[in-house]
Amino acid sequence: MPDFRDKTPDHRYKVLVVDDSALMRRILTEIINQAPDLEVVDTAVDPYQAREKIKQCNPDVLTLDVEMPRMDGITFLRNLMRLRPMPVVMISSLTDQGAQVTLDALETGAIDFITKPRLDLKEGIEEKAAVIIEKIRMAATVSKDKLLRKQQQLQKLQQREKRQDTFAQPTFATTDKLIAIGASTGGLDAIRDVLIGLPTSVPGVVVAQHIPGAFSRSFAERLDRMLPLKVEEAYEGAPITTGRVYIARGDRHLEVVRSGAKYVCQLNDGPLVNRHKPSVGVLFDSVAKAAGKNALGVMLTGMGKDGAEAMLRLKETGASTIAQDEASCVVWGMPGAAVKLGAVGQVLPLNGISDEIIRWAR
């Protein structure tokens, strides 16, 4: 297990681990306590015990298992966000059912999730130690105001879904223009909020979101049910047309290439880039080559720097570029890195990005 104890922290965030598995509680506690700025103050075996431990310990962040006895994690999360909003990182299984429930959790208010390995739980989780530390540390810094805004966006979404039958159907016409979106932590909500404001006449959209392979199809299907746009998981040779959105597979890089007068999707099973596959950088570089000045690059909330340098190269071809502003991001890592490099033409709040995309498309 990596040793994270290389500095003296100015502040230690208090973590409550909630999981019905004694092994999982022990492993997570060992990993989290390795970080100099994190401390597991207690553990709980189910939501009822967690409720009492929250009152006693006043933690800064929770790790929460999805499947637990007496009350499932989603029900507890929903109650928690209504009564005492706080940052939560979900612990989820890499299954189709696990993907659906995790997406529910993220919509309900969870900041991020950690996936349990299918085999050899102890070794598999310990291999993810650095990622677990990074995600919990990031979640602990999310303000209550951002959690409340997340809840407000969910309420607006639920109201909009009731009017879904009024949407026009997309026409799937060929277009010279292309929109590329990159995101990571907090991106599932942000992507949804941007796409929901777009008309069916919008140019084709390609999306690279850092997400496990088991989750990308569920995410695309959920968006497809929710939006007037046609949303699919990207596949080899998929035609990029108006009114259509392609989500990168969670285990492949997504690239855009020219095929005659059309743009099509190309999948790439190469190595990780910037620690990720799919990588936003790989997508943006391919869009720069295929579409150049006819493209719009959008960088949404995310941890790290993936895509920042590629966004600068995209801008240098004459493409337009937008970054989500710090106030509306869950974490301003990727957009902030792009801004610092001078890769961004406009910095906008999340609720202003859809309108700007429409203005650009026209």
Catalytic choice (42, 93, 112, 184): 184
Please say if 210 is a catalytic residue: yes
Q: What residues contact residue 231 under an 8 Å CB cut-off, 6+ apart? A: 195, 220, 221, 223, 224, 244, 245, 246, 247
Please say if 306 is a catalytic residue: yes
CB of 308 within 8 A of CB of 335?
no
Which of 222, 132, 184, 204 is closest to 331 using CA atoms? 184
The CA-atom distances, in angstroms, between 44 and each of 57, 65, 129, 135 are 12, 10, 21, 20
Catalytic choice (19, 65, 306, 325): 306
The CA-atom distances, in angstroms, between 110 and each of 77, 358, 360 are 8, 30, 33
CB of 105 within 8 A of CB of 75?
no
d(CA 144, CA 85): 7
Please say if 218 is a catalytic residue: no
Residue found by looking up tokens 């349990």 in the block? 116
d(CA 362, CA 203): 10
d(CA 117, CA 242): 38
DSSP E strand boundaries for the chain? 13-18, 38-44, 61-65, 88-93, 112-116, 178-183, 204-209, 230-233, 239-240, 244-247, 253-259, 262-268, 295-299, 320-324, 346-348
Catalytic choice (19, 65, 210, 320): 210
List active site positions: 184, 210, 306
